[in-house]
Amino acid sequence: MPNRVLAVLPAPSVADRREAGEAAFRMADPDAPQIEVLDLGITRGDGVFETISVAGRRAQAVEPHLARLARSAAMLEMPEPDLAAWRAATFAVAAALPEVPEAFVKLVYTRGVEGGTRTTGYAFGEVSPDHTVSRTEGVSVVVLDRGYRHDVRTTAPWLLQGAKTLSYAVNRAAVREAHRRGADDVLFISSDGYLLEGPTANLLLRRGSRLLTPPTDLPILAGTTQADAFAYAEQQGLEAAYEPLTRDDLDAADALWLVSSVRHAAPIRAVDGVARQIDAAFSAGLNEHLIARRD
Ligand code: PLP
């Protein structure tokens, strides 16, 4: 079984026509060139994506990921994705991966080649790196200004906050800044002082018996992992809630996590160089729960 698998969708959107008898996807060589140089995903980052965890060849939280792909595409005014085709490609790529505990499938959907008439789409699968250290020992973060107010989604919707676009150069730059400051990762804060998310993860904050995350009308992604973490927290007797959170809430929290697909729950062990207590037992239980999810 190859460690990397690719499925290309000939008709990623409902508006793209397939040839008579053409399948929803074709398996392709992930090491061979597949994308045209003038694809708008490449030239302008004009597209959307999803990264889906795979456990034992089963893709996790597929429907929430597909729903978010469609929401992101709608925010970019891209053609509506053919979710049946994306679902079939996701399952096929996950099933073609080796029987390893953890892998992922990345869905990439772009506006297509400049001047062309159809969108571009593919599903790429790969075995995941080992995230044990982040999950058990935690990650250190620095708090960085996101440069937007907490209400930017309504005051400037063209900034596409809340969509999972391919334009992640800013997110990568923030992580490099964290590394320059000796930290592993970033927690963004709005220019008017509200905690947001990491560059690739949502924030969870425990205060007593309450597990909190910022509301999704802030400039953050609605996380699939956060949603499943809330379900787990409620099973454990915690109250899970969406609440605006500030730097004071961060400082007063009993425990903090960054949660995302693939890495799952990474407890935060330091904020701006100041050590924080991690909740190892809850982290272990949550990660077990997240890894055990199917479909
Ligand atoms: N926020 C951002 C900016 C992300 O890029 C991601 C995931 O990649 C998340 C949050 C977490 O989302 P999910 O749990 O659905 O992977």
Q: For position 295, what pLDDT does the model report?
A: 67
Domains identified in the chain, total number: 2
- Which string of b and e fits 145-155 if b means at least 16 CB within 10 Å? ebebbbebbee
- 127, 158, 175 - which closes a domain: 127
**141 and 78 assigned to the same domain:** no
The minimum-distance atom of ligand 1 relative to the CA of 164 is 5
Question: What residue's CA is closest to ligand 1, atom 4?
Answer: 200
Which CATH number do you get for residue 144? 3.20.10.10
Q: What is the pLDDT of residues 2-49, one digit of tens each?
A: 899 999 999 999 999 888 889 999 999 999 999 999 999 999 999 999
Neighbours of 182 (CB within 10 A): 10
Instruction: Judge whether 269 and 121 are in contact, CB under 8 Å.
Output: no
Share of the chain above pLDDT 70, in %: 100
Residue in 54, 63, 202, 287 to alter for ligand 1 test, most ligand atoms within 8 A of Cβ: 202
**178 and 241 assigned to the same domain:** yes
**237 and 281 assigned to the same domain:** yes
pLDDT (mean) for 51-70: 97
- Structural domain including 230 reads 132-291
The whole-chain average pLDDT of the chain stands at 97
Lining residues, ligand 1, CB within 6 Å = 51, 197, 199-202, 221, 223-226, 260-261
Q: For position 1, what pLDDT does the model report?
A: 75
- 109, 127, 145 - which closes a domain: 127
**174 and 262 assigned to the same domain:** yes
Confidence check: pLDDT of 231 > 70: yes
**49 and 30 assigned to the same domain:** yes
Which CATH number do you get for residue 110? 3.30.470.10
Q: What is the pLDDT of residues 82-132, one digit of tens each?
A: 999 999 999 999 999 999 999 999 999 999 999 999 999 999 999 999 999
- 101, 127, 153 - which closes a domain: 127
Q: For position 151, what pLDDT does the model report?
A: 98
**121 and 179 assigned to the same domain:** no
